[in-house]
Amino acid sequence: MPVLARTRARDRALSGHGTLMRQCLEAGLPVASSCSGRGACGRCMVAVLEGWGALTPMGAHESLVLRRNGAGEGVRLSCQCRLVEVHGPVVISVGYW
Ligand code: FES
């Protein structure tokens, strides 16, 4: 299980394929968005609780959108990152799960 989504109820295994946003949606977990995953709105932010280094590096555009939306440390745009290496689990969460 390379990617786990931590919800209030339990950890849910995601597929590990495609963007984190896509994996969540495929698993039936809602992801906030108003740009349909184009990296513009910043609403799809997820906290990366474990496994930060296993994700694609953050690009300048993602960094800018996160800053513009007041994101703290350890946050990624789920529509802009995907798993690239599996060393251990990547654990993500959002406050509304
Ligand atoms: S869905 Fe809009 S930035 Fe990710």
End-to-end CA distance of the chain: 19
Average pLDDT for 30-43: 98
* Cβ of residue 44 lying under 6 Å from some atom of ligand 1: yes
Instruction: Determine the pLDDT at residue 67.
Output: 97
Global confidence as pTM: 0.95
Instruction: Determine the pLDDT at residue 87.
Output: 78
Given a cut of 90, whether residue 86 has pLDDT beyond it is: no
What average pLDDT does the structure give for the chain? 96
Handedness of CA 58, 35, 22, 12 (dihedral sign): positive
Q: How far is the CA of 81 from the centre of ligand 1 (A)?
A: 11
* Cβ of residue 37 lying under 6 Å from some atom of ligand 1: yes
Backbone angles phi, psi at 52, to 5 degrees: -50, -45
Query: What domains does the chain contain, in order, with CATH numbers?
Result: 3-93 (3.10.20.30)
Backbone angles phi, psi at 71, to 5 degrees: -70, 145
Average pLDDT for 7-36: 97
Instruction: Determine the pLDDT at residue 72.
Output: 93
In this structure, the residue with its CA closest to atom 2 of ligand 1 is: 41
Pocket perturbation via mutation, ligand 1, pick of 24, 33, 66, 75 by most ligand atoms within 8 A of CB: 33
* Cβ of residue 40 lying under 6 Å from some atom of ligand 1: yes
Instruction: Determine the pLDDT at residue 85.
Output: 83
Instruction: Determine the pLDDT at residue 1.
Output: 61
18: amino acid identity, one letter = G
